[in-house]
Structure 1
C-alpha cells in the first residue's frame, strides 16, 4: 500500500529530495500554526497539534510525517517562537524541558503511528481511519505523562492534570483528522474515473 502523498505524487518507488524537503517544511509550519491555536490550560496548553500530527501521519506516511514533526521540534529547540504560548523570542530547550516536553515528543509518536497505519491502508475508509486516528491519539500519553511526572512530581495527580482534561478533545481531533482522509481518497478515486 501507499500513502495519500505517494499516490498523489505517483512516486511510491522514487524519491525527489527537494519535494520531500518542501513537504516536511510545510508540515512543520502546519505544526507551528496548530500550536498557535490554543486554549490556555495548566500545566499543558490545549492546541490542535494532535489533529495535525495525526493528519500528517495519515497523509504523508511515517517517515515524512515524523520528519515534519522533528523539524518543528528542531525549530523550537533553536529558539524560534513555534511552541504554544512561546514569546516572540522563543524559549528553545527550556520550553521543551518544561511540562509540555513529553507531549511534544509524543507528537512524533502520533505521526509515526498514524503513518504506519496509513501505510497499511487504515486511512482509506472512515472506520479504519478513525481506528488509526484513535490509536495514534493515544500514542502521545505515555511520553507526555511520564515527562509531566518528572517535571512536576509523581506525587501529583498526573492523570487529572495531563490526561483527563484532554481525552475528549483528543478523541474529537483524532476523529476529525481520520474523517478528512477517506474523503481525500474518495476524491482521488473519482479523479481517476
Structure 2
C-alpha cells in the first residue's frame, strides 16, 4: 500500500524557509483568525444573497498554512466565537456565542474546519502548484463546507423544507467567483 507523502512545503513554509517555530505558528493562527473575522464582516452585494469572503479565506488558509495549522486556525476562530466575540457574519446583530453557532450556519462553520484541513492536505502534496489541481483542491474544500452546512441546515429546519434553495443554490455564483480568484 502506498500513501501520498507530504513532499511540498506550504506557501508560508516556503516563504519562511522551512519549519516554523511554535511561536510563529501561534502568530500565524491568530493572524488567520483576524483575517477570517474581517472576511465575515465585509459583505459584497450579490444576488440573491450578500457574499462574504469567508470561504475564500478558509481555502486560502488551508493552502497557505497546510492541513493541521489551517484547521487549528479555524478551530481557534470558532473558539473565539464560542466565547462570545462577534467574529461571525451577522454578529452581534444575530446573536453571539454558542447560541449563534447552533443556528442555521453552524454546519457551515464546522465545515470550515474540514475544508481548511482538506485544502491544506492537498496543498502539502503539491496540488496548489497547478491551476487545475488547485481548483480541484479548492472545490474539495467547498464540498466539505456545503456538505456539513446543508446536513446541519436540513437537520435543523427539516428536510421537508427547500434546504438546497436556502443553503446552496444562492451561493453557487459567488463561490464560482471566489474559486476564480484563487
Give TM-score scaled by structure 2 length. Answer: 0.88
Contact 2:138–2:179 (8 Å) recurs in 1: yes
- C-alpha deviation, 1:3, in angstroms: 0.8
- Count residues with an aligned counterpart: 173
Equivalent residue, structure 1, for 2:100: 95
Equivalent residue, structure 1, for 2:26: 21
Please, which runs of 5 or more residues in structure 1 have no aligned partner? 178-193
Superposition misfits of 4+ residues, deviation over 6 angstroms? none
Could you give the per-residue CA deviations for residues 90-114 of structure 1, whole angstroms, max 9, x where no partner exists? 6100000000000011111110111
Equivalent residue, structure 2, for 1:189: none
Distance in 2 (CA, whole Å) between partners of 1:145 and 1:129 is 24
1:133 paired to 2:174: no
Please, which runs of 5 or more residues in structure 2 have no aligned partner? 1-7
- C-alpha deviation, 1:174, in angstroms: 2.4
Give TM-score scaled by structure 1 length. Answer: 0.83
- C-alpha deviation, 1:39, in angstroms: 5.4
Distance in 2 (CA, whole Å) between partners of 1:45 and 1:81 is 19
Distance in 1 (CA, whole Å) between partners of 2:151 and 2:93 is 29
Equivalent residue, structure 2, for 1:114: 119
Equivalent residue, structure 2, for 1:52: 57
- C-alpha deviation, 1:87, in angstroms: 1.6
